[in-house]
Structure 1
Amino acid sequence: MTFTQALLFFFALLNPFLLSLYLLDLIVSLETGVFLRVLVRGVIIGGVVFSLFALTGDAFFSRLLHVDFAAFQIFGGILFLLVGIRFFFGGTEALSDLRGAPEHLAGSIAMPFLVGPATMSAAVMMGSSLPAVEALTVVWLTMASVVVGLLVLKWLHDCLRERNARLVDRYIEMTGRVSSLMIGTFAVQMIVTGLRVYWPAI
């Protein structure tokens, strides 16, 4: 994997449009300044975790915690599936119950929406195929792109909402339902991927 391939692959996993679906309730409810502060904190948390896995690989699980990475995939998938189910039946407001006050939202942005089995696996793969400096550069360039992309989408949402509130509200409701299906689909895939490690016939 080259530097460019790693950058494109990691950005595809963390593309701002997909993240905007997961964070739709925050984009709708928070002012731009508050949203930026919460987002930057969450991205920093995610970047530190990705950097750790890019440098240590799955040795963090196997040597330090003495667990298989597949176990993390299964449990993370179950949590993600519960989030998707709640999102589908409750809409964007349902996720706000899973978070606290704005000063405590950074952690809920980092996990599970930034830091998940897929992105952590990608960080491990980058660390094994790129020099440490290049792997860390990919991580932090992607994190910066996430912040810029989500801010642009937040600005577009706010501008359109002022001009055509009813249309935007209908778009938010429809997008929320679609994103819940995507969350659930990714969650099931995480669970199946983890189970295949223990039962290859699945």
Structure 2
Amino acid sequence: MSWPFAFQDLLREFITLFVVIDPVGTIPVFLFATAAVPQRLHRSFALRAVLVSALVLGLFLVLGQIILEGIGLRLGAFQIAGGIILFLFALSMIFGETKAASEIKEAETEDLSGAVFPLAIPSIASPGAILAVVILTDNHSTGIVEQTMTAVVLLFVLVITFLLLLLASKIQKLIGQTGVSVVSRVMGLILATVAVDSVLQGLEQMGVLALSNAPI
């Protein structure tokens, strides 16, 4: 793999993971979850949430495809299904409630630790993020080096998420709830494009796309 193509792949993976994890959309969730937490504990709260998210996503990155193949599912089919789910998730980001609004509403009816729910799961380690890490680390098309690079990109996005959570109060004051809503919807549009690309890749891997591209 040449470096220009490697850079393009890394950039695509970064955009995909950044969109599905949505660090900006997580800020209001963090502010809600820490509303009753002393300011001096916010750093530890954010760190705990990011570490839990890293553990969950890391497990799916390493074992996700193995589990799928263990039950007889092809990655191409998973890419198509995952792409469809990501697309529906993107539509909810664009037309539905903001990420913060829906997850905060759920939190109000659950008696769980705020660092785990809703902050780590499903805000950071969202279903979309779990699907994305499995799709991006196909054992048949990517080697150990490429998968390691994907893991590094994932860690980089999580570090960005942690830093944004530390600056959550300042960012909220700067862009306001409207700003967070606008950013979330723009990311939803990007995610919709990524989802369609995932479906096309799945069709290509299963040989369907090649047939559709045949000369008429």
Q: Secondary structure at the match of 2:73?
A: coil
Confirm or deny: 8 A CA contact 2:26 2:100 kept in the other structure.
no
Match of 1:44 among 43, 46, 55: 55
Task: Map residues 19-168 of structure 1 onto 2, 5 A cutoff.
Answer: 19=19, 22-30=22-30, 31=34, 32=42, 33-52=44-63, 60-62=67-69, 64-89=70-95, 90-93=97-100, 95-96=102-103, 101=112, 102=114, 103-105=116-118, 106-108=120-122, 109-117=124-132, 119-124=133-138, 129-130=143-144, 138=149, 141-162=152-173, 164=174, 167-168=175-176
Cα deviation code 1:125-179 (max 9, x no counterpart): 599534xxx67754654444333211222234422334x4xx4333212111211
TM-aligned CA deviation for residue 80 of structure 1: 1.3
Q: Secondary structure at the match of 2:138?
A: helix
Confirm or deny: 8 A CA contact 1:22 1:179 kept in the other structure.
yes
**Residue matched to 1:199:** 208
Match of 1:185 among 176, 179, 193: 193
Match of 2:180 among 157, 172, 194: 172
**Residue matched to 1:18:** 18
TM-score by length of 2: 0.66
Confirm or deny: 8 A CA contact 2:94 2:188 kept in the other structure.
yes
> How many residues are treated as equivalent by the alignment?
190
Cα deviation code 1:36-93 (max 9, x no counterpart): 322211111111222236xxxx66544x221211111111112112211112122334
TM-aligned CA deviation for residue 11 of structure 1: 7.1
Question: Aligned partners of 1:177, 1:171: CA distance in 2, in Å?
Answer: 10
For structure 2, the residue ranges without an aligned partner over 5 or more in a row are 35-41
Letter in 1 for 2:208: W
Q: Secondary structure at the match of 1:124?
A: coil
Confirm or deny: 8 A CA contact 2:99 2:184 kept in the other structure.
yes
Question: Aligned partners of 1:47, 1:21: CA distance in 2, in Å?
Answer: 14
TM-aligned CA deviation for residue 7 of structure 1: 9.3
Cα separation, partners in 2 of 1:13 and 1:128, compared to 1, 3 Å:
closer
- Over the matched positions of the two proteins, sequence identity in percent amounts to 18
For structure 1, the residue ranges without an aligned partner over 5 or more in a row are none
Q: Which has the higher helix share?
A: 1
TM-score by length of 1: 0.69
